[in-house]
Structure formats: C-alpha cells, structure tokens
Amino acid sequence: MHFELTEEHIAVRDAARDFAQAELLPGVIERDTEAKFPFEQIKKMGELGFMGMMVDPKYNGGGMDTISYVLAMEEISKIDASASVSMSVNNSLVCWGLEKYGTESQKEKYLKRLAAGEIIGAFCLSEPEAGSDATSQKTTAELRGDHYILNGTKNWITNGSSASVYLVIAQTDISKGHKGISAFIVEKGWDGFLIGKKEDKLGIRGSDTHSLMFTDVKVPVENRIGEEGFGFTFAMETLNGGRIGIAAQALGIASGAYELAVAYSKERKAFGKPISQHQAIQFKLADMATQIEAARLLVLKSAWLKDQGQDYAYASAMAKLYASEVAMNVTIEAVQVHGGYGYVKEYHVERLMRDAKITQIYEGTSEIQKIVISRSLLR
C-alpha cells in the first residue's frame, strides 16, 4: 500500500494549481455575480489538456489516469467550481462515454475535437419529471428509416448553450421500460433543437445551465450510441465515473474554503492575539482538516479502483456522498471562522458555501448514493 503521488501526478496537480491561481482567480467574483460563463478560461483549459485528460492520445487526449484527473479537478475547484463542472462533464461523462461505447466513426468525428478542447459537450439525462428516477424518460426517439425523430425536454443541462455536442438519453420503446431507453449524439444547430433560458442559480452561477427542447429533431441512426435499449445502462455506467469527478469537485471546494480559513485565522486578531491561537478556532480547523483528509482518501481510492479496472461504483458513490457532505460542513465553518467578513463576496468563502450545495444534488443526490451503497452492501 502506497500513499505517495508519482512525479507525474505532482506535476499535473501543480499545473492545475498554477492555472487556477493565474487564470481562474482573477474575475471569479464578477463571473459569479454576473452569472457569466468562463469561455476564455475553458478555452485555455482545453489548450492545456484539461478537457480530455483520460482520453487515449490517438483521439487527442492526455492519456492520463483517473488519479491525475481528480488531482486537477480538486485544484480547479478550489478557485472556480463553475469552470470545474464544465471540465468534469466534458471529461467524465461526454469523453469517457464516447471513448468507452462509441463507434470508431463517432470517435473520429466527435471525440477528437472534444478531447482537444476545440468544442465542449453536454450530457442530457434529467427531465422535468425524471431527475433521481432516471427510468421515467418522457423524451422519445422514433425510428424512421435511416434516422430517428427526437421529441422532448431536458433540464438542468450543464454546458447547455456553450456545448456543440449533446449526448441525449431518450425512450425508443416505451413498452420495454428502462430497457427501451437509448442514447444519441445530437449537434447544436439541428432543426427543431432549441435552447431555453439560462437558470438563475444559488451557486455555480458561472456554469451554463439550461433546459433543452427537441421538436421533431432528425438524428441519423449512426449517431446512436450502442444498440437500441442500451441507453439506460450507458447513462448509469457513465455516471459511476462522473461521481468521481463531482466528488473531486466537492473535495476542492472544501479544500479551498479550508485554506482561506487557515490564512484568515492567522491574520485576524481578537482579544490581543490571532484567532488561530484561540482553541475555539483551532478545533474548527482540526475538524475541517480531518474531514477533508478522509474525503480525499475516499476520492483517491475510487479513482485508483477505476484505474485498476476494478468495480468502482460502490466506492465512487461513497466518495461523492461523503465529499459533498464535507464540502457543505467545511464551507459553513469557513464562513464562521471569517465572521462578518465571511458573509461578503470579497472573501470568497460565501461563494464556496453556495457552490458546495449542488454537489449533494447533481449526478445523483446524496439519497441516491445511499441507495447505490446499500444495494452493494446487501448484494
């Protein structure tokens, strides 16, 4: 059992940390306030290889392992969770799903550009009446000769208006229930594909979250991923890996808030000495550090299991469940350590607290993670 990072891992982590400080930190408060998507920053992340980290180099990816990916996700998330969720969706859901299950022509046409960061992708599963219950898909795809006719609505879609490629889950045979669900690749700009207004959110406000409407959209048969009826399995397998990315995001939000709290506690004086010398604050910091370290080990273990080709669904659910809980706990305490200053935007921690909440909701709520874990325990 080894607990050291390799030189390559350290180099990736440090590169992500340097990028976050130099490129994401400037303007992060303004982007949050104005709900502005970080277009330029995402473009630079693509140029540096952060948008297709685990993809095989023959498809323009970085060929890195999942541990490298979560280390980078943590560092990016310390500064800007709106940027890191775009990175997570493109890496964990879109690129991974296409590389694992796509045809060679799909990889050549779409994956190469996605992995290179030339374009970004979106993963479209949630609907107005199908959130945690992903089997209740109302979006339909009817086969007509050499194409499908796609109709329905998706919501809460990350990269909703900024993506060029959308992986859409739809019902192809209602009589078969979840075994009649299929997955398709849809391009922006196709007739009948409309993008709704941007959601005005509590946190990750810079993230590009939209509803999508499909009205008689013609999707070529060659844009189906796998066989008909494979869509639900595709979505669940893809989300298993996506949870590792969101767990790393939650870890990064917690770590970022903790680092700010430690720095502030050394500067702020009360009763004649820095508040870091008061036991009340020391105990808060001790609890925060312990929770973060436990979350980090869960995240790294789930990444390691994935890299080893072992079953990681149970571990990724545990990592997301716990890391998201830690993100909420730590960010709330970080605001408390800052006192009144923690309640204003200038000191960053209030934004991290707002950003933390979504990690308990998207890519499977905490309650869904407990279902996944308990089923694994009792199997």
Give the mean model confidence (pLDDT) for residues 322-342.
Answer: 98
Give the mean model confidence (pLDDT) for residues 128-144.
Answer: 94
Residue 170 has pLDDT above 90, yes or no: yes
Give the mean model confidence (pLDDT) for residues 313-329.
Answer: 98
State the Cα–Cα distance between residues 117 and 163, nearest whole angstrom: 11
What pLDDT shows up at residue 228? 97
What pLDDT shows up at residue 344? 98
Selecting among 74, 333, 350, 363, the annotated active-site residue is 363
Assess whether 363 carries a catalytic annotation: yes
- The per-residue pLDDT of the chain, averaged, comes to 97
In this structure, are strands 269-270 and 209-220 parallel, antiparallel, or unpaired?
unpaired
pLDDT in tens, 266-305: 999 999 999 999 999 999 999 999 999 999 999 999 999 9
Taking the CA atoms of the chain, what radius of gyration do you get in angstroms?
21
Residue 374 has pLDDT above 90, yes or no: yes
pLDDT in tens, 87-131: 999 999 999 999 999 999 999 999 999 999 999 999 999 999 998
What pLDDT shows up at residue 1? 87
Residue 33 has pLDDT above 90, yes or no: yes
What are the structural domains of the chain? 7-120 (1.10.540.10), 122-231 (2.40.110.10), 238-378 (1.20.140.10)
Q: End-to-end distance of the chain based on CA atoms, in angstroms?
A: 27
140, 175 contact by CB (below 8 A) = no
Integer CA distances (angstroms), 168 to 123, 182, 195, in order: 6, 8, 14
pTM strictly above 0.95: yes
What pLDDT shows up at residue 378? 97
User: Which pairs with CB-CB distance under 8 Å and at least 24 residues apart come from 137-140?
Assistant: 137/169, 137/170, 137/171, 137/181, 138/171, 139/168, 139/169, 139/170, 139/171, 139/214, 140/170, 140/171, 140/172, 140/174
| Residue 184: partners with Cβ closer than 8 Å, 6 or more residues away | 141, 148, 150, 167, 168, 169, 170, 219, 223, 224, 225
Instruction: Give the residue among 237, 113, 120 at the shortest CA–CA distance from 169.
Output: 237
pLDDT in tens, 6-30: 999 999 999 999 999 999 999 999 9
pLDDT in tens, 189-209: 999 999 999 999 999 999 999
pLDDT in tens, 197-246: 999 999 999 999 999 999 999 999 999 999 999 999 999 999 999 999 99
What pLDDT shows up at residue 186? 98
pLDDT in tens, 54-69: 999 999 999 999 999 9
